[in-house]
Amino acid sequence: MTVVAEERREQFKKDVEEMKLKGGQSSGDGKARIVGLVLMVVGTLVSFILYFSSLTQSDLRNIASYQILASAFLALTVLGGAVYLAGAVARVLRLWLLRQLMESQAQADQIADALRK
């Protein structure tokens, strides 16, 4: 079965190249994934830095301020994950839609050929 899947994948790539379609990712998807990764890394690192800085404080108001900032950066991490996921899903959906369009075109061609005979 994997041989058939590989053949279909290669045929799909060849058809996409023949039609000069862009089947990969758009520039926006790549940028979204990079921005998402940066937001996740920055949010996580700053949250840990703020947490460790809050351990050195003795005043409860300062500790609460650090906790609020750490929570905000954790929210930034979650936002980065959502942006990254949106970019990755957009790429998959674009390829799926392209495949569906090509398969429906092939099916329409088969029906047209059958009607001509």
What does DSSP assign to residue 24? S
5-49, pLDDT tens digit by residue? 677 777 777 776 776 655 555 677 888 899 999 999 999 999 999
Alpha helices in the chain (DSSP H): 2-18, 27-54, 60-116
pTM of the model: 0.68
State the CB neighbour count (10 A cutoff) for residue 47.
19
Are the CB atoms for 80 and 38 separated by under 8 Å? yes
Predicted confidence (pLDDT) per residue in 36-88, tens digit:
999 999 999 999 999 999 999 999 999 999 999 999 999 999 999 999 999 98
Alpha carbon distance 67, 44 (integer Å): 13
CA–CA gap between residue 53 and residue 57 (Å, rounded) = 7
